[in-house]
Amino acid sequence: MPAKHCKRQLFVAGAGLRGTGYPNAWNTIELIRQQNLAEVIDYSQWLPEGTQLWKITEKGNTRAGLFLAGLFFRNAFSLLRLVFRSPARSLTYVPYPGIIFLWLSSWIPERWRPLCICDAYITLWDTIYQDRNLGHKESTLSRALLCIEARALRTAHRIVTDTCSNAAHITDLFKAPSTRLLAFPLAIPTPPTHSSKPSNPSDTKHLKVLFIGTFVPLQGTTVIAEAIHALRNKTHIGFTIIGNGQDAEATSKWLEKCPSATWIRDWQPEEVLEHHMATADICLGIFGGDGKASRVLPFKLYMALAGGKAIITQDTYGTPCGTPAIPALTCTPTPEALAEAIVNLSEDEPLRHELQSKARAYYEAHLSNPRLAEHWQTLLTRSSAP
């Protein structure tokens, strides 16, 4: 347990994202404060809640350029505050997206450069060119971003990601030293203990399947929509979909003739998402196939596990180092396989209850905030040692 009066300081800097779209950094800082792991001194320039980077790309080159310019100056201002107000080599947490802050700090001589713990659960190059397919990987812009991000990440004292697979990927792609990579669970607010909604053979018309997420290739939303379309005549199964994004139009043609599907396109406040999670029988993960989709364990599955929900997700995914496979029904990421899995789980009440009972226990044992606090305590203690 951390000392009652902690003298260790942790600075926070950069231009970080917060809110339900990117909650990890803000939740991590709150956890460090609550557990008294360090005295947090915040010099960051937090972006407005609800800022979502995928929406910036839809506003045209001029507005996207203005946003990036603003992001650059926010990071520069935060770095100047840190350099002039903190000791040299100060231990500093850099939330996502930290690439600009780290790149700027890379030009400071090492003896004065802050020791940066970088949140790299998502990397910009991956997000743009692999997750969302927004450009050509071999373009000049792509190669420039790859070089900038590689230099930035190699500057970090420690790089915190979410799974062993992502840690290995960052080492391979950006040539970051593997000794600096860590795979921690995501930080989520203290979750409510949802009582699993009862389901029985005489009342299966209320069976609810829930998907929450951004509509990008990583999520496999078209696969999900095609599976829902294939099950449109299964009137005892209802679907709730929450989210929007670049693949929304490709998805809509499969959902528009599905009376059993309710699609909420606007992103919802945390309490609304929690309500939908609490009333769901089955929660869907991601079905994006190979690449990044096979390396992550998405935030929504943390919430589903914490809430004691039955889960269906694709059969390849990542977990933090030393963490076993999650209790879930898995399938290949195709519409046919997903539709079959949904039908099978909807008709197998004992299996649903088994997955529900195992979910919360798994979360407490491997992904909960007390487990994450142990990881951060070790990291801060070792990084602060003389």
pLDDT digits (tens, 9 = 90+) for 35-46: 999 999 999 999
Residues 6+ apart with CB under 8 A from 175: 150, 154
Q: Tell me how many degrees the CA angle 68-72-76 measures, rounded to the nearest 5.
A: 170
Task: Give percent above pLDDT 90 in the chain.
Answer: 65
Mean pLDDT, residues 43-63: 75
At 37 the pLDDT is 95
Confidence check: pLDDT of 262 > 80: yes
Two tokens, residue 311: 């889960």
Q: Do domains 9-185+368-384 and 201-367 have the same CATH topology?
A: yes
Over residues 233-242, the pLDDT tens digits come to 998 999 999 9
CATH number at 201-367 = 3.40.50.2000
Over residues 369-385, the pLDDT tens digits come to 999 999 999 999 988 65
At 6 the pLDDT is 59
Peptide bond into 95 cis (omega under 30): no
Distance CA 358, CA 340 (A): 22
Q: Where are the domains of the chain?
A: 9-185+368-384, 201-367
**pTM for this entry:** 0.85
In the beta sheet, which residues pair with residue 94?
118
At 60 the pLDDT is 60
Distance CA 26, CA 28 (A): 5
Confidence check: pLDDT of 341 > 90: yes
Two tokens, residue 316: 């390849």
Over residues 277-293, the pLDDT tens digits come to 999 999 999 999 988 88
How does strand 329-331 pair with strand 9-12? unpaired
Confidence check: pLDDT of 56 > 50: yes
Task: Grade residue 319 by pLDDT with cuts at 50, 70 and 90.
Answer: very high
At 296 the pLDDT is 92
Tell me the CATH number of domain 9-185+368-384, given options 3.40.50.2300, 3.40.47.10, 3.40.50.300, 3.40.50.2000.
3.40.50.2000
At 200 the pLDDT is 42
Confidence check: pLDDT of 205 > 70: no
